[in-house]
C-alpha cells in the first residue's frame, strides 16, 4: 500500500525500514524511521541511511541529504519490512500490505456522550473490542456508507441524525492490513438504539473513556479527527 505523507527531501529510496528503539542491526542499508523530535537527523543517524520516514510533520521540514517523507505514524511500519520512498511525491509504499477502506461514525447525544458498541463474536475482526458504528466501504461515497451502517447497526433513521463533522482519513494497521478510516460525527436527540448481530452491548460514554477501553485500532485518533472539525 502507498502511504500519503509530506515531502521533506527529494529523491527515491528503497530498503528495509529500521524503527527507533529497535536494537537489531539492519543487515542492509536501511530506510530509517525517525520520531518528529529527531528531525533533522544527526550525522550518526544519517550514516548509511538510504532515506528517512518521519513521524508527523516536523517543525523544520527543510533538509538536505537522503530522500525523506514525513507526516506518517511510525506504528504503520514493522522492523525490517521493505519500503519504497518517494521524497518528491511524499509517498511511502509498504511492500506486502493491503489497503482496506472503512467508515467510522460517532453518534453524539446532547449531553456530549458518544455511542460505543462492543463487537460480537460473529464479526470477522476485532471481536470483543469497542468501536463506533463502522463498516467496509462498499457504497459510492463514505458518507453514504456511514448512513447505511447507522441504519443497520443502531436503527437510527435519517431524521434522527444531524451530520456535524467529517474528518480526514486516519490510517491504522493490523498485521498486513492498513485500514483507511473515514471518520464522521453525527448528533442525535434520541438514545433509543436497536443493535443488530454485529454487536452485543451499547454504552453512551464521555470521549475521555476511549483511552481506557480496548477498542479497534486508532478509535481515539478517529474521534480526534472529528471532535472539532466542521463538516465539509
220 phi and psi angles, rounded to 5 deg: -65, -40
Convert the pLDDT of each residue in 115-131 to its tens digit.
Answer: 999 999 999 999 999 99
Determine the average pLDDT of the residues in 42-52: 85
What is 98-227's CATH superfamily? Nucleoside Triphosphate Pyrophosphohydrolase (3.90.79.10)
Convert the pLDDT of each residue in 8-44 to its tens digit.
Answer: 999 999 999 999 988 887 777 799 999 999 998 888 7
> pLDDT at residue 164 above 70?
yes
Q: What is the pLDDT of residue 61?
A: 67
Q: What is the pLDDT of residue 80?
A: 94
> pLDDT at residue 74 above 90?
yes
Determine the average pLDDT of the residues in 98-118: 97
Let me know if domain 2-94 sits in CATH 3.50.30.10.
Answer: yes
Determine the average pLDDT of the residues in 156-175: 96
Q: What is the pLDDT of residue 125?
A: 95
**Extents of the domains making up the chain:** 2-94, 98-227
> pLDDT at residue 224 above 60?
yes
Q: Using pLDDT thresholds of 50, 70 and 90, give the confidence band for residue 100.
A: very high
For the chain, what percent of residues have pLDDT higher than 70? 97
Amino acid at each position: 500500500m502507498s502511504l500519503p505523507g509530506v515531502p521533506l527531501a527529494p529523491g527515491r529510496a528503497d530498503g528495509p525500514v529500521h524503527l527507533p528503539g529497535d536494537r537489531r542491526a539492519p543487515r542492509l542499508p536501511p530506510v530509517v524511521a525517525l520520531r518528529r523530535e529527531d528531525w533533522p537527523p544527526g550525522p550518526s543517524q544519517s550514516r548509511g541511511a538510504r532515506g528517512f520516514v518521519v513521524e508527523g510533520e516536523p517543525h523544520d521540514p527543510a533538509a538536505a541529504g537522503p530522500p525523506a517523507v514525513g507526516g506518517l505514524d511510525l506504528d504503520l511500519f514493522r522492523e525490517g519490512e521493505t519500503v519504497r520512498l518517494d521524497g518528491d511525491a511524499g509517498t511511502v509504499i509498504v511492500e506486502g500490505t493491503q489497503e482496506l477502506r472503512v467508515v467510522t461514525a460517532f453518534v453524539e447525544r446532547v449531553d456530549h456522550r458518544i455511542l460505543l458498541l462492543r463487537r460480537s463474536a460473529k464479526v470477522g475482526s476485532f471481536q470483543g473490542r469497542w468501536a463506533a458504528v463502522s463498516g467496509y466501504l462498499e457504497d459510492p461515497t463514505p458518507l453514504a456508507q456511514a448512513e447505511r451502517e447507522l441504519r443497520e447497526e443502531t436503527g437510527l433513521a435519517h431524521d434522527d441524525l444531524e451530520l456535524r463533522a467529517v474528518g480526514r482519513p486516519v490510517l491504522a494497521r493490523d498485521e498486513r492490513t492498513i485500514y483507511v478510516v473515514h471518520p464522521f460525527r453525527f448528533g442525535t436527540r434520541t438514545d433509543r438504539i436497536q443493535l443488530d448481530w454485529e454487536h452485543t452491548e451499547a454504552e453512551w460514554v464521555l470521549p475521555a473513556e476511549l483511552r481506557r477501553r480496548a477498542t479497534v485500532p486508532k478509535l481515539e485518533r478517529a474521534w480526534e479527527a472529528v471532535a472539532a472539525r466542521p463538516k465539509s
